Amino acid sequence: MHKISIIGAGNIGSTIAYLLTNKQLVKEIVLLDILEGIPQGKALDILESTPIELSDTKIIGTNDYINTSSSDIIIITAGLTRKPGMSRNDLLFTNVEIVKSVTEKIVTFSPQSIILMVSNPLDVMAYVALKVSSFERHRVIGMAGVLDSARFRLFIANELNVSVNDVHTLVLGGHGDSMVPLLNYTSVNGIPIKEMLPLPKINKLIERTRNGGIEIVNYLRTGSAYYAPAASTLEMIESIIKNQNKILPCSVWLEGEYGLADTFCGVPVKLGRNGVEEIIILNLSDDELESLHKSASEVKENIKALNGKL
């Protein structure tokens, strides 16, 4: 793998571009946006950091999809973030149009690529990309669970005053209020979280995790989170490029796994050279399974609302 294109040179797209350039994972990065000058300026700025970071990766900014030709991975971060006065549906329908048009270009210029979706509402946008591209399901993957899990890990580590490195967890489900943190798979260096913290305290941390995105929006006011979303996307890219087969919670198209079908939903997957190498099936409790189904049904409702738009 040698080429990655990032569609959308906004906060998340350009942060991914910066991190990726200086990690030297690929030879060539293309940053594309509809705004003229923005991707060119940001790419040049990032390129000028490479002598200091000692990176040989090349990055260019463009408005023309021809430059993205034959990319191995395409990251979609194009779209609007929610603004005051906008309903979720306004965002849904605007971003559907954007993601649809972006995906059509991807099919033309990089038909063999793996698509990583970052635009929101995440699970529905991943569906749009899958449907419009007709790619096999292992090549269309949504980034959400890694971010939600990172937030939960941080809050646990802060609460216990331990290293974030020691905290492991899996947050599944759709990327929204109904996400499903799995307590039975949450531990601090192998010690179950339930032995480290009382349940009411854990529930508070879960609540903060669910509202992790909103907490940042309330501070920023004019945008949403981008450093942690970019870092999360990087972890997924690295696992694919290096064929690491890391097990990460990602949004994928389900065909009967966990009793769910015809929807995107966050579940643990092995990420490697082919994208999703395997969907890991966990032995969930009845409660966890019920929460997962509830979360998935919300995604399904939104997918249904797209009727006729694709």
Quick check: 271 and 240 in contact, CB under 8 A? yes
- Residue closer to ligand APR (CB basis): 34 or 154: 34
Query: What is the closest distance, in whole angstroms, from the C-beta atom of residue 211 to ligand APR in the complex?
Result: 15
To the query of whether residue 2 is one of the catalytic residues in this protein, the response is: no
Query: What is the closest distance, in whole angstroms, from the C-beta atom of residue 26 to ligand APR in the complex?
Result: 20
Q: Is 115 helix (H, G, I), strand (E, B) or coil?
A: strand
User: Which listed residue (2, 138, 168, 175) is catalytic?
Assistant: 175
Residue 307 buriedness (CB in 10 A; 0-12 / 13-18 / 19+): exposed
Which H or E element spans position 276?
Answer: strand 275-279
Contacts with ligand APR by CB under 6 A lie at 7-13, 33-35, 77-79, 81, 95, 98, 101-102, 118-120, 223-224, 226, 229
- Residue closer to ligand APR (CB basis): 14 or 187: 14
- Residue closer to ligand APR (CB basis): 61 or 181: 61
Position with the least CB separation from ligand APR: 10
- Residue closer to ligand APR (CB basis): 11 or 291: 11
User: DSSP per residue over 60-71, as a string?
Assistant: EEES-GGGGTT-
Q: How many Cβ atoms from other residues are within 10 Å of residue 17's Cβ?
A: 29
Query: What is the closest distance, in whole angstroms, from the C-beta atom of residue 270 to ligand APR in the complex?
Result: 24
Token match 């021809």: residue?
66
User: DSSP per residue over 181-204, as a string?
Assistant: E-GGG-EETTEEHHHHS-HHHHHH
Query: What is the closest distance, in whole angstroms, from the C-beta atom of residue 298 to ligand APR in the complex?
Result: 17
Which residues are designated catalytic? 175
